[in-house]
């Protein structure tokens, strides 16, 4: 997506248009109005007297609202400055658009104003992969509305377009005969509403958060910002990044059908505006010191959808936490397995990690007790269903060979897991960070078992298993020549010996033997992994290293935030500050909104971070990265009923204050000064 | 002739306590349409305690489906969430209950060729 597009969003409803506000989607690009993974509007073009308009300026007023200032005529022809046109658009239940025409002349004017509209009802997967439709379209022009519809058997989706001012409505759009007096204006309110039609005649309007009207959104955003800690800092750019993160996190919230009034973050615009197990958990972890409620909702909703059966098509097992939920046509007709799809090997142990971390911050034992069954089932999944090789490690191999995911770890592209020489291992694969998550989950599960489940025997068992896992892991994964842990074990139990950012996650999980942590820290900020902006997904010098390869050389802000946390966990404050400084510097080049990933080129080569071509933005766990980096820089760590503050800030930051940090202590302030030279 | 729907409710009536539904207190009525006839079953959930009846009064949520669809759900051949998105399973009332109820349906029958291969299959490249 180029940056000429204007995007507004609210949870999983979003509109992407050009800078004039027009939508002219091709089958393969993600422009249009989307709700619940379906495109409800693929064409929406405004003309005045048959001419397209020219954008003078576009204002992103809020994440859910934009305003387009236009004049008739296109760039190369005469621009009639006697008229201006304003389109103000708010996303909510579909979107509303107020179209206003101002006559600056001292003579009245008569205009033919037209909006053409159409929808291809593409499933977002079809847009991504350019697939053909199997159902039938219809359009119905009524006296007061235009209906665009799509039916395939009982699957029925419809877009309703209405206007407050009278229009001549045809199957192709709305035409207004507009008369504007001198120095006067004309306007109409247009509404585009996406709906599901049920066979019994009922209709459900699709909105991100049920029952909420656009008017309430402004209030809601203010309340969200007011509840978060305040950041004071010498560096204005950091304040901007912080605010951007909070606002984008608010924008990405949605209620996935069953969360009542609660909401959790969708993963990212435009491809991943839905519930992801892994992304929701990582984002909730990042945001815990700031907006702890996200974690509670994530735990509840993912718990409700926890797997209950063995379903090969969905890669579901009992106790497994879902990977991805989709609501579009391909999922409905089981051409894709996402209702939901369970093919992830990390979300399940991470679920237990989040539950424990949530309790450490909030002291909410009620939720820990309420989710005891889910947590136990998750821990059981690790031993009973995830040990595909019978060697005591989590590994993965998809059972859905057609549409399932090959790589079920966070680096889920096809070539992400490779040997040093570039070969790809067979399956199953036991990637390193999965073992770290399992170790951490067992220890945290043990803590919860003693604290809230009254089962010390279970806690003892989990701790013994964790200790055994750590011992075996440090033996089997350690690459003695290179002084790091292998990326994975292959199906023969041999090391997949590439050096990758995964070693940072191992520090975060605590599975690393203390004596080896120093070598890992040196790698993470060393020349092969560290680009100057951040830690690369794969080290320079590896066979598949490519600075713009999705998981084989780019820098992921989310990844780096957990690497920094891992470095802090083992006491490497300065190294953690270096990583934080690089990522936060990069954020400034993106106006505070970190993309999913950027190029792994060295900082001295490009001088600015090169965005990965099809990266998602905003993306929840990139949005969460600055939050977690603030936590690691300030050294925030709950200890009993208290919050420990142990700052190690990069020198460029100056003074930093984070005020009113919520938690089991009530509200607490943290202060720090930039002293760490990051060079 | 087998009747997967009747067998499903039969099994449900002996299930007793189901911890996965421990948060719910509701009565869900299933309207199963078979040409002109409608077969009604009610599932009473009281904090996880399940009771099945043919009493059709006082439902909080009504789930409607054709007999073929419901037989498919009852035997694991049809996935509830997919059927819901297709419009084959209609929920009137609290859609959240559908998420809980779908956990009661059995697993799909497994095909032999989808069984996981034993470990140690060797490198593919």
One DSSP character per residue, A398-450 reads -S-TTTS-S--SSS-STTSS--TTSPPP-SSBEEHHHHHHHHHHHHHHHHHHH
The pLDDT confidence band at residue A127, using thresholds 50, 70 and 90, is: confident
Average pLDDT over chain A, rounded to an integer: 93
Percentage, residues of chain A above pLDDT 90: 82
Helix (H, G, I), strand (E, B) or coil at A370: helix
Report the chain A residue with the minimal C-alpha distance to residue B80. A339
- Strand pairing category for A168-170 and A38-41: unpaired
Report the chain B residue with the minimal C-alpha distance to residue A258. B96
Rounded distance, CA A174 to CA A167, Å? Answer: 6
Cβ contacts of A331 on chain B, cutoff 8 Å:
82, 85
pLDDT in tens, A565-622: 999 999 999 999 999 999 999 999 999 999 999 999 999 988 889 877 666 678 899 9
E strands along A206-335, which residues? 230-233, 253-254, 264-265
Nearest to A273 by CA among A8, A88, A59: A8
Least CB–CB distance from A309: residue in B87, B107, B120: B107
Question: Residue A559: pLDDT above 80?
Answer: yes
The pLDDT confidence band at residue A372, using thresholds 50, 70 and 90, is: very high
pLDDT in the model for residue A440: 98
Given a contact cutoff of 8 angstroms between Cβ atoms, the answer to whether A237 and A657 are in contact is no
pLDDT in tens, A57-93: 888 778 889 999 999 876 655 566 799 999 999 998 8
Least CB–CB distance from B114: residue in A197, A333, A399: A399
pLDDT in the model for residue A567: 98
pLDDT in the model for residue A251: 85
The answer to whether B108 contacts A312, with C-beta atoms less than 8 Å apart, is yes
The pLDDT confidence band at residue A259, using thresholds 50, 70 and 90, is: very low
Angle at which helices A236-251 and A214-227 cross, to 10°: 130
Cβ contacts of A371 on chain B, cutoff 8 Å:
none
The answer to whether A390 contacts B92, with C-beta atoms less than 8 Å apart, is no
The pLDDT confidence band at residue B125, using thresholds 50, 70 and 90, is: very low
Question: Residue B93: pLDDT above 90?
Answer: no
Only one residue has tokens 């204006």, namely A185
Question: Residue A526: pLDDT above 80?
Answer: yes
pLDDT in the model for residue A130: 63
pLDDT in the model for residue A643: 97
* Minimum distance, in Å, between the CA of residue B87 and any CA atom of chain A: 5
Helix (H, G, I), strand (E, B) or coil at A547: coil
pLDDT in the model for residue B115: 47
Cβ contacts of A335 on chain B, cutoff 8 Å:
none
- Strand pairing category for A649-650 and A666-676: parallel
pLDDT in the model for residue B119: 40
Question: Residue A48: pLDDT above 90?
Answer: yes
pLDDT in the model for residue B116: 46
Question: Region A275-300: what's the mean pLDDT?
Answer: 94
Burial class (CB in 10 A: 0-12, 13-18, 19+), A24: middle
pLDDT in the model for residue A211: 53
pLDDT in tens, A617-645: 788 999 999 999 999 999 999 999 999 99
Cβ contacts of B100 on chain A, cutoff 8 Å:
304
Given a contact cutoff of 8 angstroms between Cβ atoms, the answer to whether B52 and B13 are in contact is yes
The pLDDT confidence band at residue A271, using thresholds 50, 70 and 90, is: low
Before A618, cis peptide (omega within 30)?
Answer: yes
Task: Dig out the tokens for A518 from the structure.
Answer: 């120093």
The answer to whether A310 contacts B99, with C-beta atoms less than 8 Å apart, is no
The answer to whether A373 contacts B87, with C-beta atoms less than 8 Å apart, is no
The answer to whether B107 contacts A196, with C-beta atoms less than 8 Å apart, is no
* Minimum distance, in Å, between the CA of residue B2 and any CA atom of chain A: 23
Given a contact cutoff of 8 angstroms between Cβ atoms, the answer to whether A279 and A335 are in contact is no
Nearest to A394 by CA among A429, A425, A441, A350: A429
Chain A within 8 Å of B109 (Cβ-Cβ)? no
pLDDT in the model for residue A659: 98
Rounded distance, CA A92 to CA B7, Å? Answer: 44
The tally of CA atoms less than 13 A away on the side-chain side of residue A365 is 8
pLDDT in tens, B97-111: 888 899 999 999 987
Cα-only R_g, chain A: 26
Least CB–CB distance from B119: residue in A196, A328, A388: A388
Q: Which residue has the higher pLDDT, A375 or A130?
A: A375
Chain A within 8 Å of B120 (Cβ-Cβ)? yes
One DSSP character per residue, B65-81 reads EEHHHHHHHHHTSS-HH
Report the chain A residue with the minimal C-alpha distance to residue B76. A311
pLDDT in the model for residue B117: 40
Rounded distance, CA A490 to CA A497, Å? Answer: 10
Rounded distance, CA B79 to CA B74, Å? Answer: 10
Question: Residue A344: pLDDT above 80?
Answer: yes
Question: Residue A258: pLDDT above 70?
Answer: no
b/e A651-665 (16+ beta carbons within 10 angstroms → b)? ebbeebebeebbbbe
pLDDT in the model for residue B118: 42
One DSSP character per residue, A185-196 reads EEEEEEEEEEEE
Longest CA–CA separation in chain B, Å: 63
Question: Residue B123: pLDDT above 50?
Answer: no
Question: Region A210-216: what's the mean pLDDT?
Answer: 63
Cβ contacts of A397 on chain B, cutoff 8 Å:
116-117
The pLDDT confidence band at residue A13, using thresholds 50, 70 and 90, is: confident
pLDDT in tens, A130-165: 667 899 999 999 999 999 999 999 999 999 999 999
* Minimum distance, in Å, between the CA of residue B55 and any CA atom of chain A: 23
Least CB–CB distance from B107: residue in A258, A311, A370: A311
pLDDT in the model for residue A218: 82
Q: In angstroms, how far is CA B77 from the centroid of its own chain? A: 11
Hey, CA dihedral for A490, A494, A498, A501, is it positive or negative? positive
CA dihedral of A3, A4, A10, A12, whole degrees rounded to 10: -70
One DSSP character per residue, A565-577 reads HHHHHTT-HHHHH
Question: Residue A3: pLDDT above 80?
Answer: no
pLDDT in the model for residue A272: 67
Only one residue has tokens 């305040």, namely A230
pLDDT in the model for residue A6: 85
The answer to whether A390 contacts B116, with C-beta atoms less than 8 Å apart, is no
Whether the ipTM is more than 0.85: the answer is: yes
pLDDT in the model for residue B74: 96
Given a contact cutoff of 8 angstroms between Cβ atoms, the answer to whether A437 and A350 are in contact is yes
Rounded distance, CA A626 to CA A239, Å? Answer: 11
Least CB–CB distance from B122: residue in A258, A331, A492: A492
**A with B: how many residue pairs have Cβ under 8 Å apart?**
105
Task: Dig out the tokens for B86 from the structure.
Answer: 């297709």
Least CB–CB distance from B110: residue in A312, A389, A491: A312
The answer to whether A331 contacts B120, with C-beta atoms less than 8 Å apart, is no
The answer to whether B79 contacts A334, with C-beta atoms less than 8 Å apart, is yes
Rounded distance, CA A357 to CA A376, Å? Answer: 16
Longest CA–CA separation in chain A, Å: 88
The answer to whether A311 contacts B116, with C-beta atoms less than 8 Å apart, is no
Rounded distance, CA A134 to CA A473, Å? Answer: 50
pLDDT in tens, A397-421: 999 999 999 999 999 999 999 999 9
Rounded distance, CA A71 to CA A83, Å? Answer: 6
- Strand pairing category for A32-35 and A38-41: antiparallel
The answer to whether A428 contacts B119, with C-beta atoms less than 8 Å apart, is yes
* Minimum distance, in Å, between the CA of residue B116 and any CA atom of chain A: 7
- Residues sharing a CB contact under 8 Å with residue A522, sequence separation 6 or more, in sequence order: none
Rounded distance, CA A133 to CA A147, Å? Answer: 19
pLDDT in the model for residue A133: 86
Least CB–CB distance from B116: residue in A305, A340, A399: A399
The answer to whether A155 contacts B85, with C-beta atoms less than 8 Å apart, is yes
pLDDT in tens, B25-81: 999 999 999 998 999 999 999 999 999 999 878 898 999 999 999 999 999 999 999
Least CB–CB distance from A426: residue in B86, B92, B123: B123
Counted residue by residue, chain B has a size of 125
């Amino acid at each position: 997506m180029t940056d000429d597009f204007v995007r507004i969003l609210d949870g999983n409803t979003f509109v992407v248009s050009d800078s004039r506000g027009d939508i002219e989607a091709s089958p393969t690009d993600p422009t249009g109005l989307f709700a619940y993974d379906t495109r409800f509007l693929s064409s929406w073009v405004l003309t005045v007297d048959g001419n397209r308009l020219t954008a003078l300026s576009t204002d992103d007023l809020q994440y859910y609202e934009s305003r387009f200032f236009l004049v008739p005529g296109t760039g190369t022809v005469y621009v009639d400055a006697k008229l201006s046109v304003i389109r103000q658009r708010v996303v909510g239940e579909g979107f509303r658009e107020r179209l206003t025409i101002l006559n600056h002349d001292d003579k009245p004017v008569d205009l033919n104003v037209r909006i053409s509209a159409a929808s291809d009802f593409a499933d977002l997967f079809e847009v991504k992969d350019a697939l053909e439709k199997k159902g039938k379209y219809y359009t119905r022009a009524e006296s007061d509305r235009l209906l665009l519809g799509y039916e395939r058997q009982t699957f029925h989706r419809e877009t309703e377009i209405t206007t407050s001012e009278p229009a001549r409505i045809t199957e192709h759009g709305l035409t207004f005969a507009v008369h504007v007096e001198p120095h006067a204006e004309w306007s109409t309110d247009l509404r585009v509403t996406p709906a599901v039609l049920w066979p019994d005649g009922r209709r459900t309007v699709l909105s991100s958060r049920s029952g909420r009207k656009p008017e309430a959104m402004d209030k809601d955003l203010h309340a969200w910002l007011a509840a978060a800690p305040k950041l004071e800092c010498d560096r204005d750019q950091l304040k901007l990044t912080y605010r951007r993160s909070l606002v984008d996190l608010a924008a990405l919230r949605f209620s996935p059908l069953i969360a009542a009034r609660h909401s959790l973050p969708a993963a990212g615009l435009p491809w991943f505006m839905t519930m992801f197990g892994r992304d929701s958990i990582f984002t909730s972890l990042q945001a815990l010191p700031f907006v702890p409620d996200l974690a509670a909702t994530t735990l509840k909703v993912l718990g409700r959808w926890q797997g209950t059966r063995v379903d090969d098509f969905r890669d579901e097992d009992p106790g497994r936490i879902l990977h991805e939920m989709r609501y579009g046509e391909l999922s409905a007709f089981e051409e894709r397995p996402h209702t939901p799809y369970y093919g992830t090997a990390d979300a399940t142990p991470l679920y237990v990690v989040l539950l424990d971390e949530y309790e450490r911050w909030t002291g909410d034992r009620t939720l820990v007790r309420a989710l005891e069954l889910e947590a136990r089932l998750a821990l059981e999944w690790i031993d009973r269903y995830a040990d595909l090789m019978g060697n005591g490690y989590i590994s993965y191999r998809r059972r859905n060979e057609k549409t399932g995911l090959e790589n079920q770890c966070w680096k889920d592209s096809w070539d992400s897991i490779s040997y040093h020489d570039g070969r790809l291992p067979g399956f199953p694969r036991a990637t390193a960070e999965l073992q770290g998550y399992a170790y951490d989950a067992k220890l945290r599960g043990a803590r919860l078992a003693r604290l809230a489940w009254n089962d010390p025997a279970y806690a003892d068992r989990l701790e013994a298993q964790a200790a055994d896992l750590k011992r075996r892991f440090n033996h089997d994964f350690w690459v003695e020549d290179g002084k790091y842990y292998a990326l994975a074990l292959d199906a023969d139990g041999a090391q997949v010996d590439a050096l990758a950012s995964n070693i940072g996650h191992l520090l975060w999980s605590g599975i690393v033997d203390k004596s080896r942590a120093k070598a890992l820290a040196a790698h993470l900020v060393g020349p092969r992994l560290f680009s100057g902006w951040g830690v690369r997904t794969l080290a320079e010098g590896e066979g598949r290293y490519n600075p713009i390869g999705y998981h084989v050389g780019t820098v992921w802000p989310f990844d780096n935030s957990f690497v920094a946390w891992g470095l802090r966990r083992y006491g490497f404050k300065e190294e953690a500050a270096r990583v934080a400084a690089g990522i936060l510097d990069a954020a400034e080049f993106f106006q505070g909104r970190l993309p999913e990933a950027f190029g792994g080129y060295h900082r001295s080569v490009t001088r600015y971070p090169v965005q990965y071509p099809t990266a998602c933005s905003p993306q929840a766990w990139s949005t969460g990265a600055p939050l977690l980096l603030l936590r690691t820089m300030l050294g925030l760590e709950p200890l009993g009923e208290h919050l420990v503050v142990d700052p190690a800030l990069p020198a460029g930051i100056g003074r930093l204050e984070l005020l009113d940090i919520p938690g089991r202590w009530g509200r607490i302030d943290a202060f720090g000064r930039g002293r760490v030279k990051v060079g | 002739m087998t009747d997967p729907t009747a067998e499903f409710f039969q099994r449900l009536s002996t299930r007793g306590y189901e911890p996965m539904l421990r948060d719910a207190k509701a009565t869900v009525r299933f309207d199963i349409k078979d040409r002109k006839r409608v077969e009604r079953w009610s599932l009473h959930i009281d904090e996880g305690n399940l009771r099945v009846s043919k009493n059709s009064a006082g439902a909080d949520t009504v789930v409607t489906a054709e007999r073929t669809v419901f037989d498919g759900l009852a035997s694991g051949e049809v996935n509830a969430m997919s059927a819901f998105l297709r419009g084959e399973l209609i929920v009137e009332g609290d859609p959240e209950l559908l998420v809980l109820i779908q956990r009661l349906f059995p697993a799909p029958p497994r095909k032999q060729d989808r069984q996981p291969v034993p470990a140690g299959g060797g490198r593919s490249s």
